[in-house]
Amino acid sequence: MLKVIAQDFIRHEFLETVRPLYQELVEKTRQEKECVSYHLFTDQKDPGYFIFIEEWPDRAALDAHCQTEHFRRLVPLIDSYQTREGTFLLMDAFSAAADS
């Protein structure tokens, strides 16, 4: 199982512009067969700071998500309103046992 945090930084004067784009991205992504979970949040201190918390079965499923029509259309459009490049973090569940 692959957990993902993706972060976007949007110019405040375009918050109303990106809102329906994020809404569509969330709706369409949740319809993807391999999407385990996909939730969007905003920082309580900064309404232009958007945080996705995602779960996918594996990296191939995440890569397939990034190739969907909705991702390829909506993400560059959202990014055109960003203050700086977004970040993403691929994570494994913590295990109390040592890996090595």
Q: Which residues bind a second copy (CB under 8 A)?
A: 3, 5, 15-16, 19-20, 22-23, 26, 39-45, 47, 50-51, 53, 89-94, 96-99
- Nearest distance from C-beta of residue 16 to a second copy, angstroms: 6
CB nearer to a second copy: give 42 or 68: 42
Residue identified by tokens 């977004």 is 86
- Nearest distance from C-beta of residue 86 to a second copy, angstroms: 15
By CB atoms closer than 10 A (0-12, 13-18, 19+), residue 76 is: exposed
CB nearer to a second copy: give 66 or 98: 98
Q: Rounded to the nearest 5 degrees, what angle is found at the Cα of 80, between the Cα atoms of 76 and 82?
A: 115
- Nearest distance from C-beta of residue 69 to a second copy, angstroms: 20
CB nearer to a second copy: give 26 or 64: 26
How far is Cα 96 from Cα 28, in angstroms, rounded to an integer? 36
The dihedral built from the CA positions of residue 14, 15, 16 and 22, taken in this order, carries a sign that is positive
- Nearest distance from C-beta of residue 24 to a second copy, angstroms: 9
Phi, psi of 98 (to 5 degrees): -70, 145
